[in-house]
Amino acid sequence: RKEVEQDPGPFNVPEGATVAFNCTYSNSASQSFFWYRQDCRKEPKLLMSVYSSGNEDGRFTAQLNRASQYISLLIRDSKLSDSATYLCVVNRRGSQGNLIFGKGTKLSVKP
Amino acid sequence: ETGVTQTPRHLVMGMTNKKSLKCEQHLGHNAMYWYKQSAKKPLELMFVYSLEERVENNSVPSRFSPECPNSSHLFLHLHTLQPEDSALYLCASSQDGTSGSFAYEQYFGPGTRLTVT
């Protein structure tokens, strides 16, 4: 099983749609979880950290299910500017600062 | 804009050349990282420096040689590279993770797009 697995997509959605991304991770000892976004030919940028109780930042909601080792990201009211690749990121416990990046899910929001 | 800068942004080099990539962070962090991103592959961690000391080297070939003279600067020295080393090389920084049981978020520079001919 890969350390971090994501559906590669692409997800093609109209503006205003709600879209959900899922991610599973293999290391049950992982403690830190993040979503990053990466635009084409640019660097990854932190979108949000994911907390155990779930957290929301505007149109974005992240959820963590430790029992199932599953992380999700929900985007409401999609904008054209949300088009990017979304990377699920998990730390490798016991390895200082070591983040494991998923391959990413590509989102394309159409007018 | 991120507080992490990288130079050069683009680099073309022959297999016999020697070049260096530079990274500088202005965020007051004390951990820095080199990653490699090849087409259609996830980011691969290459090196980790914490408090200017290398704490991790993920089985990277010796033709890649990192240097961290202080907590704000990180270099990647390149020599006798292969065409398959062509990729986007990303530098990142974070606060120092202490116990290794959790990790702080990392902030990336814009990357150096390297082509080896």
pLDDT reported for residue A95 = 64
Contacts of B97 in chain A (CB under 8 A): 91, 96-97
Gap between the Cα atoms of B67 and B105, Å rounded? 22
Q: CB-based contact (8 Å) between B48 and chain A?
A: yes
Q: CB-based contact (8 Å) between B97 and chain A?
A: yes
pLDDT reported for residue B59 = 84
Long-range contacts formed by A60-66: CB under 8 A, 24+ apart = A60/A35, A62/A33, A62/A35, A64/A33, A66/A28
Q: Which of B51, B52, B91, B50 is nearest to B69 (CA)?
A: B52
pLDDT reported for residue A108 = 97
Low-confidence ranges of chain B (pLDDT < 50): none
Task: Please give the mean pLDDT across all residues of chain B.
Answer: 90
pLDDT reported for residue A48 = 96
Chain A: residue nearest B47 by CA? A98
For residue range A78-106, what is the model confidence (pLDDT) as tens digits? 999 999 999 999 987 766 668 899 999 99
Residue listed under structure tokens 């635009």 = A39
* CB-nearest partner of A98 from B2, B48, B88: B48
Q: CB-based contact (8 Å) between B1 and chain A?
A: no
pLDDT reported for residue B40 = 78
pLDDT reported for residue A96 = 61
- C-beta of residue A68 within 8 angstroms of C-beta of residue A25: no
Q: Answer whether B101 sits within 8 Å of A49, measured CB to CB.
A: no
- C-beta of residue A48 within 8 angstroms of C-beta of residue A34: yes
Q: Answer whether B40 sits within 8 Å of A101, measured CB to CB.
A: no
Per the document, the length of chain A is: 111
pLDDT reported for residue B18 = 94
Determine which of A2, A3, A55, A98 to mutate to test the interface with B (most B C-beta atoms within 10 Å). Answer: A98
**Nearest-5° angle of CA A11, CA A54, CA A34?**
60
pLDDT reported for residue B100 = 58
Q: Answer whether A96 sits within 8 Å of B104, measured CB to CB.
A: no
For residue range A22-72, what is the model confidence (pLDDT) as tens digits? 999 998 888 889 999 999 989 999 999 998 888 999 999 999 999 999 999
Burial B12-44 (b: 16+ CB within 10 A, else e): ebeeeeebebbbbbeeebbbbbbbbbeeeebbe
The residues, ordered by sequence, that sit 6+ positions from A99 with a Cβ below 8 Å of its Cβ are: A32, A34, A89, A90, A91, A92, B45, B103, B106
- C-beta of residue B54 within 8 angstroms of C-beta of residue B47: yes
Contacts of A45 in chain B (CB under 8 A): 2, 108
DSSP output for A77-93: S--GGG-EEEEEEEE-T
Gap between the Cα atoms of A3 and A89, Å rounded? 10
* CB-nearest partner of B109 from A4, A43, A96: A43
